[in-house]
Amino acid sequence: MPIVTTDLSYTYAPGTAFETRALDNVSLEIGDGEYVGIMGRTGCGKSTLIQLLAGLITPTAGAVFIDGEDINAPSYDRAELRKKVGVLFQYPECQLFETTVEKDVAFGLKHSGLSKDAVARNARWALEREGFDFEKVRGLSPLGLSGGEKRRVATAGILAAKPEILILDEPIAGLDPLGRDTFLQLTEDLNREGVTILMISHNADALAEHARRLLVLENGRILLDGPPKEVFRNADLLRGLNIGVSQAKYAAELLRSRGVGLPPDVVTEDELLTALTGVLKGGAQ
């Protein structure tokens, strides 16, 4: 189910003193099953882009097509869009409100057309996918859980609809290292199962390790678009945008500047370790 945008633009508060062009003629295509990381400094248009892709706001100009259909056309079935696209905003645990974990996870399925039994199965599946013992947590108040558990319950509420496209806005912000790694592994697993992942993050390491493609936005436009190795070659440009590169890329640059013969396209920890092992064994030139 590819995503295509054509000349997509969005202006906040048009015609007022506060008019701001947040997105400016963005055309792109995201294929089925891609894992795309979205980077850029605050105010570059990242969040506006994903809101437009999710149909949460209507473009000022241009169009968004999902599976060949204009999602903003009057005839388009918005209920179908909600089934296809799941969105997880930053700190989603703040949106928990139901009396039990099971009800909170199942809430988004109320108008899905699924039977009561199917809703219950989806809620169980999503919670177990998040590592919970369903029977132990189903009757608990979500508000009484730990911060990390709340985040996982909120994520389960999105997964319960089994979306084909999952859009994530800074999903690992505020998580401890274990929680971050667990969440990122979940995105990898879902992506391997065919779910298209779009993830905004300021964590260059996470994107280097997991995304297959990076978009870098600046002033509402796509500045860079390509695999992490290609995008991180523009290290000086990224630092100038206060984005930076992965720690592995930075370490490799430092070592090369001191005469260590490492390849220029190291961006992940595994690549760095492999390259250093080659140097130690005398295999690197």
- Distance separating alpha carbons of residues 17 and 1, to the nearest angstrom: 39
Q: How many domains does the chain have?
A: 2
CATH number of the domain enclosing 118: 3.40.50.300
- Distance separating alpha carbons of residues 157 and 96, to the nearest angstrom: 9
Q: Which domain holds residue 256?
A: 246-285
Domain shared by 236 and 256, yes or no: no
Domain shared by 82 and 111, yes or no: yes
Domain shared by 252 and 222, yes or no: no
Residues in the chain, total? 285
Write the DSSP assignment of 142-160 as a string of letters: GGGS-HHHHHHHHHHHHHT
Domain shared by 241 and 253, yes or no: no
pLDDT at residue number 285: 46
| DSSP bridge pairs for 61 | 9
Domain shared by 223 and 255, yes or no: no
With CA atoms as reference, report the closest residue to 40 among 29, 55, 27, 50: 50
Domain shared by 259 and 212, yes or no: no
Domain shared by 31 and 119, yes or no: yes
Residue 16: C-alpha distances to residues 12, 49, 123, 261 (Å): 9, 22, 45, 56
Beta pairing, strands 165-169 & 85-88:
parallel
Domain shared by 283 and 142, yes or no: no
Domain shared by 114 and 168, yes or no: yes
Question: Which residues 6+ apart lie within 8 Å of 206 measured at CB?
Answer: 37, 172, 180, 184
Domain shared by 80 and 104, yes or no: yes
* Total-model pTM: 0.90
Domain shared by 9 and 28, yes or no: yes
Q: What's the CA angle centered on 56, arms 54 and 60, to 5 degrees?
A: 100
pLDDT at residue number 272: 92
Q: Where are the beta strands (DSSP E) in the chain?
A: 3-12, 20-30, 35-39, 61-66, 69-70, 85-88, 165-169, 196-200, 213-218, 221-226
For tokens 């992940």, what's the residue?
268
pLDDT at residue number 12: 94
pLDDT at residue number 283: 54
Question: Which residues 6+ apart lie within 8 Å of 46 measured at CB?
Answer: 38, 39, 40, 169, 200, 217
Domain shared by 192 and 255, yes or no: no
pLDDT tens, residue order, the chain (285 aa): 699 999 999 999 998 999 999 999 999 999 999 999 999 999 999 999 999 999 999 999 999 999 999 999 999 988 889 889 999 988 888 888 899 999 999 988 887 778 889 999 999 999 999 989 999 999 999 989 888 888 889 999 999 999 999 999 999 888 888 888 989 999 999 999 999 999 999 999 999 999 999 999 999 999 999 999 999 999 999 999 988 899 999 899 899 888 888 888 899 999 999 989 888 887 544
